[in-house]
Homo-oligomer: A and B are copies of this chain.
Amino acid sequence: MLRLSKLTDYATVLLAYMAKTNSHLHTAVELSEATAIHLPTVSKVMKVLSKAGVVYATRGSKGGYQLAQGPEQITVASIIGALEGPVAITECSSQTHDCEQASACEIKGNWGVVNRAIVNVLESITLADMMVTQQEYSSAEIQVSWQGLSR
């Protein structure tokens, strides 16, 4: 249903907390207590974020996690990519598809264009943007223009 996984949501909440309290390394236990996300889940998410390079991990006593970049450099797309892989709204939206009925298909390639548009949005929004306090959903100003093809 065009929905992100819960793990991606957790990741964003965790990263936002880390961004807010950026002075020290954060252990999984601390993150769990601060966000009320169960510890095993926090661990799972942080391991994935670490492997993807979104956060930097230090092992051992006095260890923990820290953001690999500033909140302005971490995009929502990169968070999603870490947890779920590249965004692909349909099977046919990636370059490496092999749709069975491709020869007869009227919309061939167009999901790729839609996908690209959505990725552009997600790449334009950073963790810092996600930390802005919202008064109203409707107060956001987003402008999107669709110009079709250049040829």
Q: Tell me the A residues contacting B by CB distance below 8 Å.
A: 1-6, 8-9, 12-13, 16-17, 19-20, 34-36, 76, 80, 84-85, 87-92, 95, 100-101, 104-114, 116-118, 120-122, 124-125, 129-135, 137, 139-151
Contact = CB atoms under 8 A, between A and B. Distances in A.
A30 to B, nearest CB: 14
Given A20-B106, A121-B144, A141-B149, 11 more contacts: A1-B87, A2-B4, A2-B118, A6-B91, A8-B90, A9-B111, A16-B106, A95-B137, A116-B140, A132-B148, A135-B151
A89 B2 contact: yes
Contacts of A36: 100-101, 104
Nearest to A143: B145
Contact of A3 (B89, B124, B149): B89
Contacts of A112: 134, 137, 140
Q: What's the number of copies of this chain in the assembled complex?
A: 2
Nearest to A122: B114
A65 B132 CA distance: 47
A127 B147 CA distance: 14
Nearest to A140: B113
Nearest to A85: B1
A19 B106 CA distance: 10
Contact of A129 (B90, B116, B129, B148): B148
24 contacts: A2-B2, A2-B3, A2-B4, A9-B92, A9-B111, A13-B105, A13-B107, A16-B107, A17-B106, A106-B130, A110-B129, A110-B130, A110-B132, A112-B134, A112-B137, A113-B137, A113-B140, A117-B125, A118-B121, A125-B146, A141-B147, A141-B149, A143-B145, A144-B144
